[in-house]
Amino acid sequence: MTGRGHSPGGDGGRPAVAVALDVGGTGMKCALVRPDGTVVHAERHPTDAGRGPEAVVATILDVAEGLAARAHATGFAPVAVGIAVPGVVDSTRGVAVWSANVGFRDVPLRDLAVARLGLPTALGHDVRVGALAEARLGAGRDAGHVLFVAIGTGIAGAHVVDGSAAAGAHGAAGEIGHILVRPDGPRCGCGRYGCLESLASASAVARRYAELAGPEAPAGTAPAVDAAGVACRAAAGDPVAGRVWREAVDALADGLATGQALFDVRTIVLGGGLARAGDQLLDPLRAALRDRLTFHREPRLVPAALGDQAGCLGAALLALDTVPADEKPGAQDSAGAAGSTVPPSDERQES
């Protein structure tokens, strides 16, 4: 928490903040965020999805209301609410359509928040809003056209153009993890064989290593070596780990080359657990991607910069997009302090 932004704005009003919540399967990351991306207050709460969706929704509304009250009490003006959720999200209607790990089925979260807090509210998809934040405030800043790819348990992505993430006609754009890269490959969670995430996600890397290295753990337990462990062993010269790592890099390069053919971006931002391998992933991946490009321009390939704050910051940006610039009191007084500002609201589109 910082004290920045307590000075009155140019119009004499209190500085504007967005109330932002990033709701995940295990926890909610929540914050009060200034239009320039400065976090003035942050807190976390357990989701406890096992309680059922109604209880989770009640917690979301309680937390949002508490954050708005805290904004008022500390000299800020809460002007909008942004909520990011996983799964299938209809941002246009403000409905959390479906989520396996939170249990949502057609929850009209936006209208519920508007009724409770009386503030304009935006509902977004967790990966797309994270991409939005990386594109506007993080590693994709100033790139204009950004492809964000999060490599964790699965592989998810989003394409951001001039600060807006495209959702697609059915809310499923950017699912780069389900690009087919090996028709004879392993079965993917979606039911098909050979999707990118069945070969190059963190869980796929751990599974493949266990397959090739033979069982080290007693039968029935989780793989003894996770993706980070495979990366370490590969760096130390373990030939099996090296092979697994190369296979994952090759599959990723195939997927990203397809992404670049479709989107022609300036920057590809890699996030998620596997990207924490840093240059051990990025260096061979850059070379492999370069090998696969013919007439397409090579994108910059960079690690994500905002860590696990990206979803919360993106939810705030989405929220602030709903508010005309002249209704954000004090929006100018610290503009530029974080080296960037939110684009004017006429650049927004539904996401």
Integer Cα distance of 242 and 118 in angstroms: 55
172 interacts with Zn ion by CB under 5 A: no
- Which of 34, 128, 178, 328 binds Zn ion (CB under 5 A)? It is 178
Question: CB atoms < 10 A from the CB of 4, how many?
Answer: 16
Nearest to 189 by CA among 199, 209, 211: 199
Please identify, among the stretches 4-12, 168-176, 194-202, 264-272, the one whose residues bind Zn ion according to the rule CB under 5 A. Answer: 194-202
Please identify, among the stretches 27-35, 47-55, 106-114, 187-195, the one whose residues bind Zn ion according to the rule CB under 5 A. Answer: 187-195
188 interacts with Zn ion by CB under 5 A: yes
Closest separation between CB of residue 175 and Zn ion, Å?
8
Report the greatest alpha carbon distance in the chain: 68
200 interacts with Zn ion by CB under 5 A: no
Please identify, among the stretches 27-35, 189-197, 239-247, 269-277, the one whose residues bind Zn ion according to the rule CB under 5 A. Answer: 189-197
Q: Which is nearer to Zn ion, 33 or 195 (CB)?
A: 195
164-165 and 155-161 beta bridge pairing: antiparallel
3-state secondary structure of 42: strand
Closest separation between CB of residue 179 and Zn ion, Å?
9
Exposed / middle / buried, residue 315 (Cβ in 10 Å: 0-12, 13-18, 19+)? buried
One character per residue 122-161, x = contact with Zn ion (rule: CB under 5 A): ----------------------------------------
- Which of 190, 212, 217, 287 binds Zn ion (CB under 5 A)? It is 190
φ and ψ at residue 247, rounded to 5 degrees: -60, -40
Q: Which is nearer to Zn ion, 21 or 252 (CB)?
A: 252
Q: Which is nearer to Zn ion, 132 or 188 (CB)?
A: 188
Integer Cα distance of 172 and 89 in angstroms: 9
Q: Which is nearer to Zn ion, 195 or 252 (CB)?
A: 195
Whether 238 contacts 116, CB under 8 Å: no
61 interacts with Zn ion by CB under 5 A: no
195 interacts with Zn ion by CB under 5 A: yes
Q: Which is nearer to Zn ion, 68 or 155 (CB)?
A: 155
Integer Cα distance of 72 and 179 in angstroms: 46
The CA angle 129-197-226, to the nearest 5 degrees, is 100
What are the residues binding Zn ion (CB under 5 A)?
178, 188, 190, 195
